[in-house]
Amino acid sequence: MATLREIRRRIASVKNIEQVTDAMSVVAAARLRRAQENILATRPYADKLKTILGHLISQMDIEEEALTHPLLEEREVQHVCIISVSGDRGLCGSFNSNVIRTTTERIQHYEEDGADVTLICIGRRTQEHFERRGYDITDSYINIFRQLEFQIAVDVVHEFEHLYTDRMIDKVEVIYNNFKSAILQTVLVEQLLPLEPIEPEGDTLFLDYVYEPGQVELFEMLLHKDLNMQMWKVLLDSNAAEQAARRAAMQNATEKARELIDELILQRNRARQTQITTEISEIVSGAAALEG
């Protein structure tokens, strides 16, 4: 049985932890709200881009034009680039470890098929994990989530698109935590390149535009913009998912700490009572000895 002083010290330290985790969950909740707003703010742009792309494809002779575009071309997969998106910091439950585990599985999967894999790591957690284990890392982006800018997505896309058109890689995949809701995040594996063919939009009322430059040039440009947008969404989603995961983890920790405090207070009271009882019986027996 712990002494009274030890129990008191433990209560103090658990209370400290409880305060820290509670503060962290409040901060994560505030960041989560901002991250969700950022996701919503992409809608007007993203939706319009999809509509224009859909219109354009519906007006184009797809057989001739689109399928010859290098970003749509399917090649035999020998070199794969995986973009693994984690956070920069821990204390967010299984957020980082899920991405790392899925990435490792994908790498094994491709290596069994005889393809080699290179990584682009986003976030310190994946970068440190894979670097320590000697994986092939093309590039990594660290500390980008504090101040997330669209330009970062553009830079990442530029990086792998360049490798793809130079035929250094034949396939690009991204692995990240998808923000389903504040309580549910799931790891997703999405193919970025070659692009999956986009369905034309069945808008028969749509009148064709006048194009400048030609349809094909515009189509290529829009594909590129769409790729930037996909990458941007991945970054925003992962950021929101990280904050959500951290808030949940810290809330859990706070609750556990409170339970522990309650339990320790009971123990402390019991110990104190025992001590008092011992003292009284000592005094009583002392007095009895004097009288006797």
Partner 1 sequence: MLNRSFHLEIRTPEKMIFDGDVTSVTAPGVEGNFQILAGHIPFLTALDVGEIRVNESADTARHLATSGGVFEVLRTGVTVLVETAEWASDIDVSRAESALTRAQEQLTSDAPDLNRPQVEAAFARAQNRIKVAGNSAEISDVSTR
Work out whether strand 137-141 and strand 79-85 pair parallel, antiparallel, or are unpaired: unpaired
Minimum distance of partner 1 from residue 55's CB (angstroms): 8
Site string for partner 1, 115-154 (x = CB under 8 A): -----------------------------------xx-xx
**C-beta of 165: minimal distance to partner 1 in Å?**
12
> How many residues of this chain interact with partner 1, rule: CB under 8 A?
31
Q: Is the CA virtual torsion 244, 250, 251, 253 positive or negative?
A: positive
Distance CA 224, CA 161 (A): 9
Q: Do 120 and 111 touch, CB atoms closer than 8 A?
A: no
Q: Which span sits near partner 1 by CB under 8 A: 67-75, 101-109, 221-229, 259-267?
A: 221-229
Question: Nearer Cβ to partner 1, position 55 or 89?
Answer: 55
Q: Which helix (H) or strand (E) holds 191?
A: strand 185-193
| Contact track, partner 1, 230-259, x by CB under 8 A | --x---------------------------
Whole-angstrom distance, CA of residue 273 vs CA of residue 278: 8
Helix (H, G, I), strand (E, B) or coil at 45: helix
From candidates 158, 180, 256, 268, binder to partner 1 by CB under 8 A: 158
Q: Is 71 in the site for partner 1 (CB under 8 A)?
A: no
34 binds partner 1 (CB under 8 A): no
Candidate residues 4, 20, 29, 52; the one interacting with partner 1 per rule CB under 8 A: 52
d(CA 4, CA 272): 7
The reply on whether position 218 binds partner 1 by CB under 8 A is yes
Residue 188, classed as helix, strand or coil, is strand
**DSSP secondary structure letter of residue 171:** E
81: annotated active-site residue: no
| Sign of the dihedral defined by the CA atoms of residues 171, 172, 177, 180, in that order | negative
- Cα–Cα nearest to 100, from 124, 118, 122, 126: 126
| Binding window for partner 1 (CB under 8 A); candidates: 39-47, 120-128, 165-173, 266-274 | 39-47
Give the DSSP H or E segment for 133: none
Identify the active-site residue in 81, 92, 187, 244: 92
* Nearest alpha carbon to residue 229 among 44, 86, 46, 57: 46
The minimum distance between CB 44 and partner 1, in angstroms, equals 5
> 135: closest CA among 149, 114, 121?
121
Listed ranges 2-10, 87-95, 190-198, 208-216: which one lies at the site for partner 1 (CB under 8 A): 208-216
Q: Which of the residues are catalytic? A: 92
Which residues bind to partner 1, rule: CB under 8 A?
Answer: 38, 41-42, 44-46, 48-49, 52, 56, 150-151, 153-155, 158, 207-213, 217-218, 221-222, 225, 228-229, 232
